[in-house]
């Protein structure tokens, strides 16, 4: 899985279009970084940029943007409604996919150090990257703002984490760190500003006072009125959508609105949102309404509908969901190739993609065939009595087919990492030790990847065998082909384990891996046999 980090730098310029555009262009021109949004504010005199990429690319893009801003922004003349202390006021890094908070902390520290060294400005760490409680939050660090920064830097406890203590008048200081993904979310109401704010106080974590906290954790909220829309809104920041998801905020707002006899008329997400947050909402409504939906696109459609995300503005998933904005960026992924391209790449004079990627592809197709049989049974009048059974059997087959798509690239990636480790320098003892550790880790990855594939395949057999016993009999050949594909995928992964075991030097480790592979293969053989026998029994 590719690592994706979001970076949301806030620059203290929201009025001069030439400056705003120049900073945006610095991000766009950085290889590996994708600029998703530019949101200038005239009254705040501040522009929020949103871009994503791999760890190295987002750091470089943020640095490139900062260097342009250093030439064009002068804080000595800056005025705006938003609190600020620097030209690049704050630069948070947010884990989106395949990256932990700890990894993002490392990214923020790399950025902070490079910014201080290459631009020559003071940099503070905040959030998960900070190690001092009294300077962990933005309000703590930003207290006194730009105007109080010169004196603040002279105090021992306010020495920057990186860079000079000297006051840089044109720049001020920058704060960088890590936060979880913040979802800016508004609930639309036909109500007064005061009524909307009353509900906001009920919901937000701080509530009305320490003695009257609100109901929702990791939730900030206020009520306001949109004159141009002639409606009120509860404006919400969800600082951790895994703690308080979007749909919970929406449902709780509706509950309070009903108590006040007020109408909720939908909601809107401001900016971009992770796919996981939308799928959370879809799964909630699927369970609540006892629906049966497997397809991701249909789940997204359901969430948009149930949350009323298009009532006052458009919500195009391809433009608003981060992963969808990036889906065309990784054009080199094998799984994104056409069938023809993939076959030609396998046939080329290169060691990868090879048997491991082919095994994953075949296994994914096998599980997909099982799901297809379920789809050709579910919802049809003649097999209506099997609807409940299909609702139970379809998900493991459909989900496995989808989950195996990334495995097509995982084997090639593991092989490439192993080859890269072999090429590491080994002139000094330190280099030798680093290379040895890298080779060991990469070697074990080339074994764990096919073992994981075998384990995933084995999660399909029970559902596929039962499907073979009751599913649409007109699709029996699809069940037989699917079972053979899954078994072939397991055999392919098994052979990859065997060849990569040659690179393991420890006999005990090698024996453990081999025993695991043997057991997984045995289960696949038994599973395939059970499916084929179930089909044959129905033909007699």
- Give the three-state DSSP class for 206: coil
Helices marked H in 296-404: 296-307, 317-320, 322-326, 339-347, 355-375, 387-403
Count of CB atoms situated within 10 Å of the CB of 31: 9
CA distance 188 to 253: 10
Tokens standing for 279? 């799928």
DSSP letter assigned to residue 182: P
Contacts with 222 (C-beta within 8 Å, 6 or more apart), sequence order: 197, 200, 204, 234, 235
Report the residue count for the chain.
540
485 Cβ contact partners less than 8 Å away, ≥ 6 residues apart: 362, 363, 365, 366, 369
- Backbone torsion region of residue 269, taken as left when φ is above 0, otherwise alpha when ψ lies between -120 and 50, otherwise beta: beta
Contact 353, 411 (CB under 8 A): yes
**CA 422/CA 230 separation, integer angstroms:** 65
The burial of 530, by beta-carbon neighbours within 10 Å (0-12 exposed, 13-18 middle, 19 or more buried), is given as middle
**Which one is catalytic: 16, 37, 54, 82?**
82
42 annotated active-site:
no
Nearest C-alpha neighbor of 72 from the set 18, 122, 24, 33: 18
Residue 233 sits at φ, ψ, to 5 deg, of: -140, 145
Beginning with the edge strand found earlier in the chain, give each strand of the sheet holding 263-270 in spatial order: 219-226, 231-238, 183-190, 263-270
Count of CB atoms situated within 10 Å of the CB of 419: 12
- Structural contact between residues 110 and 125, judged by C-beta atoms closer than 8 angstroms: no
- Give the integer Cα–Cα distance in Å for 467 and 535: 9
Do residues 123 and 163 make contact, with C-beta atoms less than 8 angstroms apart? yes
Q: Is 82 a catalytic residue?
A: yes
| Alpha-carbon gap, residue 328 to 317, rounded angstroms | 14
Q: Within its chain, how far is the Cα of 1 from the centroid?
A: 10
Taking the C-alpha atoms of residue 433 and residue 114, their distance in angstroms, rounded to an integer, is 27
| Given the residues 161, 256, 409, 411, the one annotated as active site | 411
Look at the alpha carbons of 349, 353, 355, 358 in this order and tell me if their dihedral is positive or negative.
negative
Among 397, 368, 354, 349, which residue's Cα sits nearest to residue 492?
Answer: 354
Tokens of 109: 């520290």
Calpha distance 404→4 (Å, rounded): 20
Q: Let me know the angle formed at the C-alpha of 416 by 362 and 54, rounded to the nearest 5 degrees.
A: 100
Helix (H, G, I), strand (E, B) or coil at 224: strand
Active-site annotation, residues: 82, 411
């Amino acid at each position: 899985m590719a690592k994706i980090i979001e970076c949301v730098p806030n620059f203290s310029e929201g009025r001069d279009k030439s400056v705003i555009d120049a900073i945006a262009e610095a991000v766009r021109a950085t290889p590996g970084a994708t600029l998703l949004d530019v949101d200038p504010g005239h009254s705040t005199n501040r522009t929020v940029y949103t871009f994503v990429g791999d760890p190295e690319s987002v750091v470089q893009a943020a640095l490139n943007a900062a260097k342009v801003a250093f030439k064009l922004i002068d804080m000595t003349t800056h005025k705006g409604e938003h609190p600020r202390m620097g030209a690049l006021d704050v630069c948070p890094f947010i884990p989106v996919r395949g990256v932990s908070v700890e990894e993002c902390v490392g990214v923020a520290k790399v950025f902070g150090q490079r910014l201080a060294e290459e631009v020559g400005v003071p940099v503070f760490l905040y959030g998960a990257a900070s190690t001092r409680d009294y300077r962990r939050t933005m309000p703590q660090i930003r207290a006194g703002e730009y105007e109080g920064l010169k004196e603040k830097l002279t105090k021992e406890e306010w020495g920057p984490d990186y860079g000079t203590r000297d006051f840089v008048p044109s720049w001020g200081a920058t704060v960088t760190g890590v936060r979880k993904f913040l979802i800016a979310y508004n609930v639309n109401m036909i109500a007064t500003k005061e009524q909307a704010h009353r509900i906001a106080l009920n919901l937000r974590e701080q509530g009305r006072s320490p003695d009257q906290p609100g109901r929702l954790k990791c939730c900030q909220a206020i009520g306001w009125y949109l004159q141009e829309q002639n409606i009120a809104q509860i404006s919400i920041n969800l600082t951790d959508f895994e703690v308080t998801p979007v749909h919970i905020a929406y449902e709780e707002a509706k509950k309070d609105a009903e108590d006040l006899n007020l109408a909720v008329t939908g909601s809107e997400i401001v900016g971009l949102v992770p796919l996981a947050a939308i799928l959370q909402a879809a799964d909630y409504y699927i369970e609540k309404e006892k629906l049966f939906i497997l397809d991701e696109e249909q789940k997204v459609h359901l969430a948009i509908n149930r949350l009323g995300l298009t009532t006052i503005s458009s919500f195009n998933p391809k433009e608003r969901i981060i992963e969808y904005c990036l889906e065309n960026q990784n054009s080199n992924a094998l799984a994104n190739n056409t069938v023809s391209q993939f076959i030609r790449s396998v046939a080329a004079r290169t060691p990868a993609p090879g048997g491991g990627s082919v095994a994953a592809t075949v296994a994914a197709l096998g599980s997909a065939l099982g799901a297809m049989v379920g789809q050709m049974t579910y919802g049809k009048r003649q097999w209506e009595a099997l609807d409940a059974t299909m609702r139970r059997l379809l998900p493991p087959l459909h989900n496995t087919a989808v989950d195996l798509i990334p495995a097509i690239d995982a084997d090639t990636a593991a092989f490439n990492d192993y080859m890269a480790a072999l090429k590491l320098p080994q002139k000094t003892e330190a280099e030798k030790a680093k290379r040895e550790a890298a080779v060991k880790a990469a070697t074990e990855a080339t074994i764990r990847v096919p073992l994981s594939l075998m384990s995933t395949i084995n999660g399909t057999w029970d559902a596929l065998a039962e499907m073979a016993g009751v599913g649409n009999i007109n699709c029996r050949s699809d069940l037989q082909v699917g079972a053979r594909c899954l078994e072939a995928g397991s055999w392919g992964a098994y052979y990859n384990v065997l060849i990569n075991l040659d690179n393991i030097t420890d006999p005990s480790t090698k024996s453990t891996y081999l025993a695991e592979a043997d057991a997984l293969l045995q289960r696949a053989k038994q599973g395939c046999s059970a499916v084929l026998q179930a089909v044959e029994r129905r033909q007699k």
